């Protein structure tokens, strides 16, 4: 049991150091144009659940969106359960053709980026998927100035308050504190 806990602590320490380095590199960057920037080490070295977590935090910070709202979208759209959800499969497709962790439609991606994006890329590129979602949320907030209307429009294409918007608006991550509490025991 002690060896398992020791290995778990080593993994968590490695992840924490990796996130710290990535965050420091991001903070030193002066590129705030929100162009697609490939961070090969993030996408190559981390499991999908951690990549979703990283990119949500990255775009939440850079676009000034409350992070729990983007967590709520990922959870509601693709059942992402947080950074330690190691069974998470991000390349899901909905019955209407929405793709990836944030369930982006190819037409929405084209509208946000001003150029077409392949379905394969939208489904498999976590950074791109989260970036488009965050840019859409920012655009909808600038238009509506009300978070519940933003989430209703994200879901339906119309500025409405519905059960989806309530779910995302009230989403409370419950994975962070439990990990910290368990490690301290």
Greater confidence, 7 or 96?
96
Q: How far apart are CA 169 and CA 181, in angstroms?
A: 26
What pLDDT does residue 126 have? 96
Cβ contact 55:150 at 8 Å: no
Cβ contact 69:152 at 8 Å: no
What 143-151 contacts at long range (C-beta under 8 Å, 24+ apart), as own/partner pairs, is 147/66, 147/69, 151/69, 151/72, 151/73
pLDDT digits (tens, 9 = 90+) for 22-64: 544 444 444 444 444 445 556 667 899 999 999 999 999 999 9
Question: Is the alpha carbon torsion for 38, 46, 62, 149 positive or negative?
Answer: positive
Which tokens in the block code for residue 96? 């209407």
Residue 13 has pLDDT above 60, yes or no: no
Question: Taking the model in full, what pTM does it have?
Answer: 0.75
CA separation (Å) from 58 to 1, 2, 53, 63, 98?
35, 34, 9, 9, 22
What pLDDT does residue 9 have? 52
What pLDDT does residue 174 have? 87
Which tokens in the block code for residue 183? 């490690």
Record: fold of 2-184: Lysozyme (1.10.530)
What pLDDT does residue 178 have? 45
pLDDT digits (tens, 9 = 90+) for 106-161: 999 999 999 999 999 999 999 999 999 999 999 999 999 999 999 999 999 999 99
């Amino acid at each position: 049991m002690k060896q398992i806990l020791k290995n778990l602590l080593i993994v968590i320490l490695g992840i924490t150091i990796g996130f710290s380095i990535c965050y420091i590199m991001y903070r030193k960057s002066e590129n705030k144009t929100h162009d697609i920037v490939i961070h090969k080490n993030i996408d190559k070295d981390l499991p999908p659940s951690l990549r979703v977590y990283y990119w949500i935090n990255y775009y939440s910070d850079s676009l000034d969106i409350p992070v729990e709202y983007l967590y709520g979208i990922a959870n509601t759209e693709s059942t992402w359960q947080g950074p330690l959800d190691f069974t998470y499969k991000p390349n899901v497709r909905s019955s209407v053709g929405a793709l990836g962790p944030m369930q982006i439609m190819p037409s929405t991606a084209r509208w946000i980026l001003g150029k077409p994006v392949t379905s394969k890329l939208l489904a498999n590129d976590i950074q791109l998927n989260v970036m488009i979602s965050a840019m859409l949320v920012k655009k909808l907030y600038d238009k509506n100035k009300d978070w519940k209307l933003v989430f209703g429009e994200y879901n339906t294409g119309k500025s409405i308050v519905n059960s989806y918007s309530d779910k995302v608006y009230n989403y409370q991550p419950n994975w962070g504190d439990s990990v910290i509490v368990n490690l301290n025991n």
